[in-house]
Amino acid sequence: MNAGKTTAAAFLVNGLVGAGLSVGAAKITGTGAGGDVWMMVDAGAIPVLDFTHGGCPSTYRCPAEQVREVLLALTGHLSAAGVDAVVLEVADGVFQTETAALLADSAFAGAVDGIVFAASDALGAVAGVARLRALNHPVVAVSGLLTASPLATREARSALEGLVVVDPVEISHPILGLSPAADALSLDACRSTTSARTASPSTHGRYGWPVNLMSAVTAATYVVAGVAKLK
Confidence of residue 189 (pLDDT cuts 50, 70, 90): low
Domain that holds residue 143: 5-226
- Which CATH number does the domain housing residue 58 bear? 3.40.50
DSSP string, 5-63: HHHHHHHHHHHHHHTT--EEEEE-SSB--HHHHHHHHHHT-SSEEEGGGGT-SB-TT--
Q: Does the pLDDT of residue 208 top 70, yes or no?
A: no
pLDDT of residue 209: 35
In a domain, 231, yes or no: no
Check whether the bond before 138 is cis (ω within 30° of 0): no
pLDDT value of residue 137: 92
Does residue 210 carry a pLDDT above 50? no
Average pLDDT score, the chain: 79
Residue 128 lies in a domain: yes
Domain count for the chain, please give it.
Answer: 1
Higher pLDDT, 185 or 11: 11
Q: Which residue has the higher pLDDT, 171 or 131?
A: 131
Give tens-digit pLDDT for 18-66: 888 899 999 998 888 888 889 999 999 999 999 988 888 999 999 999 9
What is the predicted pLDDT for the residue at 179?
Answer: 52
